[in-house]
Amino acid sequence: MRSYNSFDVLQQQVAEAAKILNLDHATTELLMWPQREYKFTIPVRMDNGEVKIFHGYRIQYNSARGPAKGGIRFHPDETVDSIRALSGWMTWKTSVLDLPLGGAKGGVVCNPRDMSERELENLSRAYVRAVVQYIGVDKDVPAPDVYTNPQTMAWMMDEYETLMQVHHPGVFTDKPQQIGGTEGRRDATARGGAVAVREACKVLGIDPTGTFAIQGFGNAGQRIALLHPELLGGGKLIAVCDSRGGIVNPDGMNPKELVTHKLKTGSVVGFPGTRSIPRDLVLELEVDVLYPAALENSINEDNMERVKAKIICELANGPTTPEADLFLHKHGIHVIPDILASAGGVTVSYFEMVQDKSSFFWDEATVQARLDEKMRKAYHTVQEAMREKKVHPRLAAMVVGVARVAEACKLRGWV
């Protein structure tokens, strides 16, 4: 499989959408690049008394439609191009869902697994000290991402409020509920994906209670295992994999028992009543719905011809390569692209911002109903663009997202 630079892929997607929309050169060029990029060094005192220097980033891709929005990840392999790409995809994601937000992403090059909780807290607070003048409820609102979590956001929010001497809980989202977090955030990404699959089954005439498989069994994978049967009125989970291996049972598995097994043992491997299979084989099984919820570029030119799912719902970022995208569409496999499929998370983060601003919080049923409405409308908007422009689903989603951002840029007089 060829290697991909994720930012190159993003720019290619923007260029394709801009061509379909007949955007002028200046607008296209503006949307091909982030508006602002911040790079900084972060000194942190470690538990052994030594000071270690970390490299951090915050990239605000576009804020024409509203404050930038996007996660902060702590990862040893983070690069400026990966953060550029993720900030761009956040821009199109918020636009596709028609949220009054832009897109951003941040990261620190580090290995959280080698750090104590105190060191992670020191790093989190130091990161905020580096970006404090660039973020805010009306500027840029971060959230957790890879290897960060609600506790990370609690530390960061506290540091921001300490520095600014104001109470602004909405400056970070996906916080613990006790300090301004919202009901319904934990399963929002998976719930949004399940809603999109439900709508796709209606459009395509596919039995929503058929078989499904999940690649990756972290937070999103575990929650979609539980939510798919609930939101689609049934469904048989026949295969799952995680970093340690894959399992299959053609007669189906009990999702609740499987999640319990994963949390208890650290892996899906060894779940009673299943047999082991290679991890990658989960992508190639004959199922009605496949949920890639693990790594980018998982479905590629090496395995695309063996993919047999009817619907692919991308809960991971960029799990399908550009070549595979075209192949799957040509062969009648319906891909719900990541900028639509996994947008439930940022949608409920937006709901959290709204609640923090008003200091009035909704119950879980209200959050879920409003998420359902947003995802349903976005799915059918992308479907309409797909039919009108005669393009594959990812390009249709990009056309919707890019068109809305381009219009905002023009109305502002930027181009």
Query: How distant, in Å, are the alpha carbons of 7, 82, 154, 345 from that of 90?
Result: 13, 12, 22, 11
Instruction: Note the pLDDT of residue 317.
Output: 85
Do 123 and 235 reside in the same domain of the chain? no
Q: Which of 140, 155, 179 is the last residue before a domain boundary?
A: 179
pLDDT for 314 equals 97
| Secondary structure of residue 278 in the 3-state scheme | coil
How high is the mean pLDDT of the chain? 96
Same domain membership, residue 151 and residue 205: no
383 found inside a domain: no
- Angle, helix 344-358 to helix 188-204, in steps of 10 degrees: 130
Strand 289-292 with 211-215, pairing: parallel
Q: Which residues of 64-102 are buried (b: 16+ CB within 10 A; e: fewer)?
A: bbbbbbbbbbbbeebeeebbbbbbbbbbbbbbbbbbebb
- For residue 174, the model assigns a pLDDT of 96
CATH number for the domain including 101? 3.40.50.10860
The CATH number for 238's domain is 3.40.50.720
User: Does residue 199 belong to any structural domain of this protein?
Assistant: yes
* Domain termination site, one of 131, 151, 179: 179
Number of separate domains in the chain: 2
Domain contains 12: no
Give the structural domain span for 328. 188-341
Minimal CA–CA distance to 344: which of 220, 200, 215, 169? 220
Q: Do 238 and 154 reside in the same domain of the chain?
A: no
Residue 257 and residue 305 in one domain: yes
Whether residue 346 is contained in a domain is answered as: no
In this prediction, residue 5 carries a pLDDT of 86
Residue 1's pLDDT is what? 63
Domain annotation covers residue 8 = no
Do 335 and 311 lie in a common domain? Answer: yes
Domain assignment present for 390: no
What is the structure's pLDDT at 269? Answer: 95
Q: Which parts of the chain have pLDDT scores under 50?
A: none
- Catalytic residue, from 69, 93, 105, 236: name it: 105
Are residues 156 and 86 part of one domain?
yes
- Between the two ends of the chain, the Cα-to-Cα distance in Å is 39
Q: According to the model, what pLDDT value does residue 272 have?
A: 96
Domain presence at residue 266: yes
- Domain ends where: 130, 149, 179? 179
| Residue 152 and residue 253 in one domain | no
136 with 164, same domain: the answer is: yes
Q: Are residues 80 and 148 in the same domain?
A: yes
pLDDT of residue 29: 97
Active-site residue, 390 included: no
370 occurs within a structural domain: no
- In this structure, are 159 and 193 located in the same domain? no
Crossing angle for the helix pair 393-412 and 6-21, to the nearest 10 degrees: 70
Render pLDDT for 49-95 as a digit per residue (tens, 0 to 9).
999 999 999 999 999 999 999 999 999 999 999 999 999 999 999 99
Contacts of 139 (CB under 8 A, 6+ apart): 63, 67, 68
Check whether residue 330 and residue 207 sit in a common domain: yes
- Nearest CA to 136 out of 167, 180, 177, 115 is that of 167
Q: Are residues 64 and 153 both part of a single domain?
A: yes
